[in-house]
Amino acid sequence: MLRSPLAAVIVFVLAAGAGAEEITVMAVPIATFKDAAIGEAVDGTVWRGGMELKSDATSFGGLSGLAFTDREQRLAMVSDKGWFISGQLIYDEAGVMRELVGVTVEAIRNSQGNALPRAYARDAEAITPITRDGEIAAVRVGFENLTRVADFDIVDGRPGGAAREVDIPDWLSHLRTNDSLEAVCIASDASPVAGSTMLITEGDETAEGNLAAYMRGSRDRGEFSIVRTPGLNPTDCAFLPNGDMLLLERGTGIFGFVMQVRRIAANEVRPGAAISGDVVLTASGGAIDNMEGITVHAAPNGETRFVIVSDNNYNEWERTLLLEFGLPE
């Protein structure tokens, strides 16, 4: 992975209650991935470029999930410390992401509209868009430790306001560890289970040794499972327009973090199924970091792409990466 010496400076506005703080973040373009240049094939994907985000501010980092909130490349992310971080991705004429602008950071709030009071309650792990009448109207957020799911309205491309709690099975809400709910995504319109929410655990095993998951839909509802990849655990999921599901997984190896992305055919995603799919991307070592979030969107040129984000856990030795890939037709 090569890092350009050129960097875009991004101003983040931190908004907690009435207070606000400006911090400077450097966006450093990433030109290659696993020796592939932008536009070249990487496993079953096409590398489309990325950025490393850096800041001296202690408030920046811990990004665990991301979702696009409109057709203008507005992006919302959630952090381990209970923040919504929103901004707009800017692409160059070649269709490569270059900077993130107009960024705001505000506290995730509870159902009374108050900032989450305890660290145990702030650990947001996933965010996924909710579409109504063809427009993104809200986001659904998953939390671990104090395991729960809640919806938040979108206003001007940014999530916020009071949480609206979403009911989940007792067995899931009773998992009060960081191995509980990790991945949340809503099936796209072309899926046989369109509109259903996937709730996938990071480490809760079924009797068969798979990872426990639940499908929450108006018609399609029930438990399913993820066939486990040795040494890896699910961290997020997202649906493609054709109804296939992408599953991001992460683990650790001799040379650092390991990750893979699986593509699961639309007809495999159903209650009662043990789903596996096909691996479309793998990486380890310096090419990646602690990859935790994945989302799908239409790039400015109309191409369907997915973006993955890494969680630096607020550590100096981990990085915050945004990496983007296309999928061959």
pLDDT of residue 8: 40
pLDDT of residue 240: 98
Answering whether pTM is above 0.85, one says yes
The mean pLDDT value for 242-261 works out to 94
Element (H, E) at 132: strand 124-132
Query: Could you tell me if 214 and 196 are in contact, meaning their C-beta atoms sit under 8 angstroms apart?
Result: no
The mean pLDDT value for 19-33 works out to 77
**DSSP assignment string, 170-226:** HHHHT--STTSEEEEEE--TTSTTTTPEEEEEEEEE-TTS-EEEEEE-SS--EEEEE
Tokens encoding 194: 């369109």
Per-residue pLDDT band at 42 (split at 50, 70, 90): very high
Query: Could you tell me if 15 and 22 are in contact, meaning their C-beta atoms sit under 8 angstroms apart?
Result: no
Q: Give the CA angle between residues 149, 19, 25 to the nearest 5°.
A: 80
Whether residue 94 is predicted with pLDDT greater than 70 in this model: the reply is yes
Whether residue 156 is predicted with pLDDT greater than 50 in this model: the reply is yes
Residue for token pair 């893979």:
260
**DSSP assignment string, 239-255:** E-TTS-EEEEEEEEETT
Give me the domains of the chain, ranges plus CATH numbers.
8-326 (2.120.10)
Q: How many CB atoms lie within 10 A of CB 126?
A: 31
pLDDT of residue 21: 52
